[in-house]
Copies of this chain bind each other. A is one copy, B any other.
């Protein structure tokens, strides 16, 4: 491996992974091993059972990285082409390794079976290869060095591959390690769009010579991924310095880190403060309480919720004044606030959260189009409200609305003000 951070490619071989029923998950395990040693994956691909395609894929991949890892295509049947493709791609000759045949025969014999003739294919080896014995199956893997590059060839059966990665690949990576590893930190931001985040990052980019950051939008939140390669102390210090700058930019828009999810962050806060919450929701149909109760231990702080899909339910479940609904309509700021207050009173909690809106596709009007939603949080003294507009599919609308409601609760708890820090 050169001094430069090494790069890797992965090829998964097998037409079954080109259909609609399966995805290649072997590559995730290979990637995890690579990342632990600071090796960047530049590409991965899935190819079928045509020899020429596989030969081309191997040549292409080895040109673009220092390490090539393949999984699959090592079985005994005609469409197991990985060996043949490697021979053709690199101009290598194959020969028979009698000891492999003996081992496969012994495996079959141990079950009282005779080895099928086809399995002999699995004993075809390259002179230059290091054979990797497979204790979990019949197909051995191997390691080749070609023009200063490393090619690792593993079977595709997941539990065989896992064992071989642990047994051969990780120790090899360890032996090659240069002290460099990859460290990561993820900052999670709520209440901004992806482009809103980019906009706020402009001074950061300028200060850092436009060095790229990975920004991921997923489920009504934005993740900012920081990473640094190198020794542990410097890498962690470098990440900490960047994190501090980003905290200065985003303040309390950052709701969590790494594996945090909003509902768990809320749960931690409530538990620490020994406070409780209840919900009264309309258009989100129970998703808000469902997300809160996805967290283990939530019965300690969540007392219950009302799903008020009709005006009547808003009155009898959450105690909303019929006159208020009459005057402002079910989808309005006063009704959202009354739902939050009603939930608090009904369940005797510290906080109440209310949501009312129009998920669509029906029910919209010019004044209140589909996608309109009012969210509110109340405690015994005060209430906060937001009006938002997300014209999207029902499940997405519901997710975004509950995310905003949880975030409003979070900021409400933080210090009694929802102003930005």
A239 within 8 A of B: no
Among the 9-residue stretches A16-24, A142-150, A378-386, A413-421, the one with 4 or more Cβ atoms under 8 Å from chain B is: A16-24
Q: Which one, B157, B285, B308, contacts A294 given CB within 8 A?
A: B285
- State whether B303 touches A313 (Cβ < 8 A): yes
- State whether B43 touches A47 (Cβ < 8 A): yes
Q: Chain A contact residues: over half helix, strand or loop, or mixed?
A: mixed
A32 touching B18 in the complex, CB below 8 Å, given contacts A136-B392, A286-B286: no
A44 within 8 A of B: yes
| Residues of the B chain whose Cβ atoms lie less than 8 Å from the Cβ of A346 | 316
- State whether B313 touches A304 (Cβ < 8 A): yes
In the bound complex, how far is the Cα of B194 from the Cα of A159, in angstroms? 16
For A15, A293, A303, the residue with the greatest tally of chain B CB atoms inside 10 Å of its CB is A293
A299 touching B307 in the complex, CB below 8 Å, given contacts A116-B195, A212-B78, A290-B398: no
Q: Which one, B78, B304, B396, contacts A310 given CB within 8 A?
A: B304
| Residues of the B chain whose Cβ atoms lie less than 8 Å from the Cβ of A251 | none
- State whether A48 touches B56 (Cβ < 8 A): no
- State whether A317 touches B304 (Cβ < 8 A): yes
Q: Could you mark each residue 228-261 of chain A with 1 if its beta carbon is under 8 Å from any beta carbon of chain B, else 0?
A: 0000000000000000000000000000000000
Q: Which one, B24, B76, B279, B389, contacts A307 given CB within 8 A?
A: B279
- State whether A307 touches B306 (Cβ < 8 A): yes
- State whether A15 touches B214 (Cβ < 8 A): yes
| Residues of the B chain whose Cβ atoms lie less than 8 Å from the Cβ of A304 | 306-310, 313, 317
A216 within 8 A of B: yes
A354 within 8 A of B: no
A42 within 8 A of B: yes
A90 within 8 A of B: no
In the bound complex, how far is the Cα of B51 from the Cα of A212, in angstroms? 13
A77 within 8 A of B: yes
A50 within 8 A of B: yes
A310 touching B305 in the complex, CB below 8 Å, given contacts A18-B43, A46-B44, A285-B292: no
- State whether B309 touches A286 (Cβ < 8 A): no
Closest CB of chain B to A54's CB: distance in Å? 9
In the bound complex, how far is the Cα of B216 from the Cα of A195, in angstroms? 39
Nearest residue (CB) in B for A162 is: B393
Q: Could you mark each residue 275-298 of chain A with 1 if its beta carbon is under 8 Å from any beta carbon of chain B, else 0?
A: 000010101111111101111111
Closest CB of chain B to A383's CB: distance in Å? 21
In the bound complex, how far is the Cα of B79 from the Cα of A210, in angstroms? 11
Within 8 A of B (CB), among A175-206: 193-196, 198-199
For A136, A193, A195, A359, the residue with the greatest tally of chain B CB atoms inside 10 Å of its CB is A195
For A16, A20, A393, the residue with the greatest tally of chain B CB atoms inside 10 Å of its CB is A20
A35 touching B47 in the complex, CB below 8 Å, given contacts A309-B302, A309-B304, A313-B347: no
Q: List 6 A-B contacts (CB under 8 A).
A: A20-B28, A279-B286, A285-B302, A287-B290, A297-B362, A305-B309
